[in-house]
């Protein structure tokens, strides 16, 4: 019976990356130090371990009940934050593989990029940003989740990609840059899909030049964007699109913000969600204060604690907590069994 040397599994992966991947790809054999030293896994590379830690985290599981665009959707075909994450991962991996970049690193960043997102999508983020003195951004909260709240001890490459998947800063790995553009490709296309499904827009409402360039179907649009990235980025140490493609993507994104994301007329529940998040924040700040020592100027830490708790909520958990905290419930019937026994006695039954 043959045996296998487990250490060879990881060594073969190291050899593959060094021999086959682009010179600009991150190599698993040459990672930056983790915050805490730890024993290595005998078979998985550091980036594979990071991916698995994210996949098994509580924050990742909660993404399945967090809003992408439409609040607490009853229709199972609308995207949630988890399905968005999986679509980003798929697009990212396709690009990474085509460009000979590190697919494991790309997948880890993609799976972790939205762990810090609030309930009710960007509406929740907007409210928490207005309430917390130092502000709130979901990408910063995602980093906080993996470093402090769940303490996953991820590699610097993954953490940097998570933090910089949005905003002005560019991730320092090409793999992080891939996730950044893939996030935009994913949400632009699946949010169009969901808005059409919801009856909010028709395909004919979309910017004519952009749709003429990218195509009518979701598949056509994604393929056009992805192939443009691959064509313009191959053999380079950064992710590039040509000017025409970038211009049409920006036009499409601007149209989506004006007509979907920031249009209160098509999202009438947004006002309710904002009110709910604000009142939950005030409620938890008040109640946390009753439970902790406030002699050392604890107000900032109390607010941070309330924000961490609320940001981790799913849509339905936030709704249930709001009902629990603010909606009165009927007084329970006292001695219900006694009342039933009295009726039983009237009907000739004896107590035990």
pLDDT, one tens digit per residue, over 274-325 is 999 999 999 999 988 888 888 777 889 999 999 999 999 999 999 999 999 9
Q: Is pLDDT of 102 > 90?
A: yes
Give the Cα separation of 68 and 256 in Å (integer).
Answer: 14
pLDDT given at position 290:
86
pLDDT given at position 1:
59
Q: Is pLDDT of 333 > 70?
A: no
Q: What is the DSSP letter of 67?
A: B
Cβ atoms of 171 and 343 within 8 Å: the answer is: no
Mean pLDDT in residue range 204-210: 94
pLDDT given at position 7:
74
Candidates 302, 220, 213, 289; CA nearest to 252 is 213
Mean pLDDT in residue range 319-341: 80
Candidates 78, 59, 58, 77; CA nearest to 68 is 78
Least confident range of 43-57, 167-181, 267-281? 267-281
Which residues face 67 on adjacent strands? Answer: 80
Candidates 293, 266, 284, 265; CA nearest to 326 is 284
Output the six-digit token pair for 33.
Answer: 């130090």
Give the Cα separation of 314 and 63 in Å (integer).
Answer: 7
pLDDT given at position 2:
67
Which residues face 80 on adjacent strands? Answer: 67
Task: Answer with the residue of higher pLDDT: 257 or 25.
Answer: 25
Least confident range of 67-76, 81-90, 306-315? 67-76
DSSP symbols for 4-19: --HHHHHHHHHHHHHH
Give the Cα separation of 229 and 233 in Å (integer).
Answer: 6
Contacts 24+ apart (CB under 8 A), 239-247: 239/95, 239/174, 239/177, 239/178, 239/180, 239/181, 241/181, 244/213, 245/213
Output the six-digit token pair for 77.
Answer: 């075909």
Give the Cα separation of 63 and 145 in Å (integer).
Answer: 13
Mean pLDDT in residue range 108-133: 96
CA distances from 50 to 35, 179, 203, 244 (A): 13, 15, 39, 36
Least confident range of 100-114, 175-189, 195-209? 195-209
Q: What is the DSSP letter of 261?
A: I
Candidates 332, 317, 268, 311; CA nearest to 118 is 311
Q: Is pLDDT of 74 > 70?
A: no
pLDDT given at position 205:
93
pLDDT given at position 204:
92
pLDDT given at position 325:
92
Residues 6 or more apart from 245 whose CB is under 8 A from it?
213, 224, 225, 228
pLDDT given at position 344:
77
pLDDT given at position 93:
98
Grade residue 115 by pLDDT with cuts at 50, 70 and 90: very high
Q: What percent of the chain is modeled with pLDDT above 90? A: 75
CA distances from 318 to 119, 128, 132, 143, 325 (A): 7, 14, 18, 22, 10
Please give the domain boundaries of the chain with CATH numbers for all domains: 6-27+42-266 (1.10.3210.10)
Grade residue 26 by pLDDT with cuts at 50, 70 and 90: very high
Mean pLDDT in residue range 340-352: 75
Q: Is pLDDT of 336 > 80?
A: no
Output the six-digit token pair for 182.
Answer: 């893939």
pLDDT given at position 289:
86
SS3 155: coil
Cβ atoms of 318 and 276 within 8 Å: the answer is: yes
Grade residue 190 by pLDDT with cuts at 50, 70 and 90: very high
Mean pLDDT in residue range 119-147: 96
Output the average pLDDT for the chain.
Answer: 92
Output the six-digit token pair for 154.
Answer: 């991820």
Output the six-digit token pair for 264.
Answer: 């209160």
Mean pLDDT in residue range 152-179: 97
Residue 67: phi, psi to the nearest 5? Answer: -65, 140
């Amino acid at each position: 019976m043959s045996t296998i040397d487990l250490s060879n599994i990881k060594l073969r992966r190291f050899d593959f990356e060094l021999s086959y991947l682009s010179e600009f790809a991150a190599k698993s054999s040459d990672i930056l130090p983790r915050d805490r030293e730890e024993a290595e896994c005998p078979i998985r590379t550091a980036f594979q371990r990071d991916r698995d830690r994210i996949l098994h985290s509580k924050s990742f599981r909660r993404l399945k009940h967090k809003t992408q665009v439409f609040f607490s959707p009853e229709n199972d075909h609308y995207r949630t934050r988890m399905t968005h994450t999986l679509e980003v991962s798929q697009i990212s991996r396709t690009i990474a593989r085509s460009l000979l970049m590190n697919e494991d690193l790309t997948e880890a960043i993609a799976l972790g990029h939205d762990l810090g997102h609030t309930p009710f999508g960007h509406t929740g983020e907007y409210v928490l940003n207005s309430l917390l003195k130092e502000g709130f951004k979901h990408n910063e909260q995602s980093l906080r989740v993996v470093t402090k709240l769940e303490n996953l001890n991820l590699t610097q490459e993954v953490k940097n990609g998570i933090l910089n998947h949005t905003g002005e800063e560019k991730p320092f790995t090409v793999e992080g840059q891939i996730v950044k553009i893939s996030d935009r490709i994913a949400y632009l296309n699946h949010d169009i899909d969901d808005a059409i499904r919801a009856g909010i827009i028709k395909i004919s409402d979309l910017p004519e030049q952009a749709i003429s360039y990218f195509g009518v179907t979701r598949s056509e649009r994604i393929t056009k964007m992805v192939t443009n990235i691959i064509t313009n980025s191959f053999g380079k140490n950064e992710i590039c699109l040509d000017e025409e493609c970038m211009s049409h993507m920006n036009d499409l994104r601007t149209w989506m913000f004006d007509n979907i994301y920031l249009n209160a007329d098509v999202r009438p529940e947004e006002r309710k969600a904002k009110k709910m998040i604000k009142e939950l924040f005030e409620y938890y700040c008040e109640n946390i204060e009753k439970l902790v020592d406030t002699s050392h100027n604890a107000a900032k830490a109390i607010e941070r604690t309330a924000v961490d708790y609320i940001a981790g909520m799913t849509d339905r958990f936030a709704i249930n907590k709001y009902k629990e905290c603010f909606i009165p419930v009927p007084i329970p019937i006292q001695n219900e069994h006694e009342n039933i026994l009295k009726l039983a006695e009237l009907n000739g039954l004896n107590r035990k």
